[in-house]
Amino acid sequence: MPGLQQNIICVTVPELASIGVSENYLKKALSQHRQGVVSCWPHHKEGRTIYIHYAGLKTEYQQSIKEKLCQGMEPADWIKTAHENNRANEKEAKAEALELAVLEAINNYHGFTRYYDGFKPEQKEKTAKNASAIVAAANYMKANNIKPNSLTFYNELGLIFDKYGQKPSNARRLAEKVKAYFEGTPINEIVTVPRAGNNNRALYRQSDAQTLETIRGWMLQLMDGHNYTDAMIVRTLLRNCEIQQFDKIPSQSTLQNWVNARDISFLSANARYGDNSRFSSKFNGITPMARPLHANDVWQMDGTRINMIPHRAVAKNGQKKDMFLYIVAVYDAHSGDYLGEYYGYTESRWAYAAALHAACMNTGALPHTLVLDRFPGHNTKEWLHLVEQLKNRYGVTVIESSKSTGKAQVERSFGTVQSVFMAASELYYGEGVKSTRPSAHRTEEHIQRTLKEAKKAGFELEGAISEAVKVMQAYRHTPLNTYSRKFAKLQASPAQLHAASDKPNQIALEPIDMVRLFYLRNELTFKQQMFSMEVLREPLYYPIDDFKFVKNYTGQKFEVRYDPFNLEQLYIFDLETSAFVRTAKRYTPAIGYGPDADHKPYAKLKAARKAIETTRKVERARMIEEAPGLQRPALPEPDYSDHAEVTALTPHEPKGIKEHAESDFLLKEMGVTPEKDAWEREAERIKIPGID
């Protein structure tokens, strides 16, 4: 490239060769010139490089240099532009080097943290980074011989500080700090923590302690259940401070800091947000619990809404409406398996009893401990009787918890079923209404489209239960490592874990135990050789043809159990001990007349009754015969000395005469002589003895 050598525009031999001049020719010509053989272009040599003077070249070579080496420019202009570009590149390179030096200092700030011990971690880190950057800038100036008063350097440094969030970014303030460091001032005196040593708040607390406590008390009052915004609380506090005419009224920012203080947040969290709110949960203590060691050690029961679109169903008022499906489930706390479910529209005592019945049928046992919440109906007589049986007869520990933390595992499991398995269903509408996750809910357009398609397909209760069962079975039989990071190495499903686990603490059940616990209960008196009751206003009869039972238990009250879906058999238990006694089969009354007359059931029952009556006579005769020598009671001979008394006790007299005689007898006993009246005259007429 053309350049200036001793203020003369020159080109080198290789550069001339690059535009078409033979390098050999140039060397030969220059050699002959040195020997004085020929005349050549003006040139000079510096070291081993030969510079040919541009002005001495032929015109054709000068033109080629302009076009090929100087991009069409005059060599003098091209050289000037190149020098400017070189200076700009050098400046940019220096700026990049300065930025790299500052950035490296910011990232390696840890050596300066010791100067700021005692401050908050975030203040300590930020100030140490600032100090490290100042020291790095000073070292860079020293290494590159930059004058301490170079305002250009500080302007560039300010841009870099501003880019990486360091303070100060003002060039003059930076110059002051760098110069101070050059002068030997310790860096921890040059760069200090913002507002360090400011004791205004402390002074306020010391001089106005009573005022401070009053304001803090107001804060807690405003946070007690109302959950006002922080801004509203601050405004209310300022207004009350003005009303009370405090000498020193805290600023708005000070009050805001007090509202967010850790102690105030701790004291007010539950009252402000509620006990079960996620905003107050971090202030509440927890007690971590491990899972039980064996299957059927602990069962947890809970109910929740199935997060699928509603379906058409008949409500209690008999009208069809859109309704959501609910599930009540029994969850094994060891394996995570669902052992029994009930699908319906509410959480009731019947739903919980049915879910527990299903779990017992599937496992053939009861757990050592049953944990459940206080659902609607937990205090009804039916549920209380079931709980009493579980506790007293079978030894199950029943724990009723009013908080979700008492059965946290089943609560979390519902979340897993929802987010992992139910989300794959086209009928899924999303998580609960309080969820704030980005993927919590399906779009309104998708839900409307799904509702339209479901309605067209006749989506009702049966379809909703079928879809829910698919979801629950998918959860039960999917290996945990397919979706759980916690159990990434566990290649077994909840159902497999439950089946494989030992069950040393379960309580085994017999078929009759299922009846005793879960069939519907009633108390009936055995009379007329049968049990009779009404179910849904339909009379039901259960005769017993066992003579011994009829003889010993007629008139006694029993506890009876029956399956509402199969009323053909009645199970009879002792009312006091709940011990099983026997069963009784249903009798359907015979139709005596008409086209549907059927006398067979009547004849069969009549025959059984006749057999009992015959046995009763035989038994009575046998017992009489086996007990001879009975002396029957005899009436004493009557004493007729007192005719009035005899007359009074004579049963064949007319009622009027008899009553008069009784009155006369009583008067005589009292020493009063009765007067004769119409009754006495009538007695004389008919000549009845005993009347004087």
pTM as predicted: 0.60
Q: Which of 171-175, 189-193, 348-352 has the highest mean pLDDT?
A: 348-352
Question: What is the arithmetic mean of pLDDT over 166-173?
Answer: 82
- Give how far Cα 147 sits from Cα of 151, 173, 175, 179, Å: 9, 16, 11, 10
The DSSP secondary-structure symbol of 460 reads B
| The CATH fold of domain 3-72 | Arc Repressor Mutant, subunit A (1.10.10)
**pLDDT of 198 higher than 60:** no
Instruction: For the chain, give the mean pLDDT.
Output: 81
Q: 595 preceded by cis ω (within 30°)?
A: no
**pLDDT of 396 higher than 80:** yes
Return d(Cα 510, Cα 516) in angstroms, integer: 10
Give the pLDDT score at 529: 92
Q: What is the pLDDT of residues 243-266, one digit of tens each?
A: 888 877 888 888 888 888 888 889
Give the pLDDT score at 675: 63
Q: What is the pLDDT of residues 226-240, one digit of tens each?
A: 888 999 999 999 999
**pLDDT of 509 higher than 90:** yes
Q: What is the pLDDT of residues 273-301, one digit of tens each?
A: 887 777 888 888 777 777 889 999 999 99
Question: Where are the chain's structural domains?
Answer: 3-72, 84-190, 200-282, 298-500, 520-609, 643-686
Q: 168 preceded by cis ω (within 30°)?
A: yes
The DSSP secondary-structure symbol of 112 reads G
Give the pLDDT score at 206: 47
**pLDDT of 31 higher than 70:** no
Q: Which of 1-5, 56-60, 152-156 has the highest mean pLDDT?
A: 152-156
**pLDDT of 520 higher than 80:** yes
Q: What is the pLDDT of residues 202-212, one digit of tens each?
A: 545 544 677 78
Contact 449, 491 (CB under 8 A): no
Contact 515, 305 (CB under 8 A): no
Q: What is the pLDDT of residues 617-674, one digit of tens each?
A: 999 989 888 887 777 787 676 665 555 444 444 555 566 666 667 777 777 776 666 6
Q: Which residue has the higher pLDDT, 193 or 680?
A: 193
- Give how far Cα 10 sits from Cα of 15, 28, 385, Å: 10, 19, 114
Give the pLDDT score at 93: 62
Return d(Cα 254, Cα 372) in angstroms, integer: 47
**pLDDT of 109 higher than 70:** yes
| The CATH fold of domain 298-500 | Nucleotidyltransferase; domain 5 (3.30.420)
Q: How does residue 493 score in pLDDT terms, banded at 50, 70 and 90?
A: very high
Q: How does residue 39 score in pLDDT terms, banded at 50, 70 and 90?
A: very low
Do the domains 298-500 and 520-609 sit in the same CATH topology, yes or no?
A: no
Return d(Cα 418, Cα 665) in angstroms, integer: 96
Single-letter residue type at 50: I
Give the pLDDT score at 45: 64
Q: What is the pLDDT of residues 547-577, one digit of tens each?
A: 999 999 999 999 999 998 899 999 999 999 8
Least confident of 328-332, 375-379, 534-538, 600-604: 600-604
Give the pLDDT score at 646: 47
**pLDDT of 192 higher than 90:** no
Kindly give the pairing relationship between strand 520-525 and strand 580-585.
unpaired
Give the pLDDT score at 36: 40
Kindly give the pairing relationship between strand 298-305 and strand 369-373.
parallel
Question: What is the arithmetic mean of pLDDT over 176-194?
Answer: 83
| The CATH fold of domain 520-609 | OB fold (Dihydrolipoamide Acetyltransferase, E2P) (2.40.50)
Q: Which residue has the higher pLDDT, 97 or 679?
A: 97
Q: How does residue 147 score in pLDDT terms, banded at 50, 70 and 90?
A: confident
- Tokens found for residue 288: 């971590």
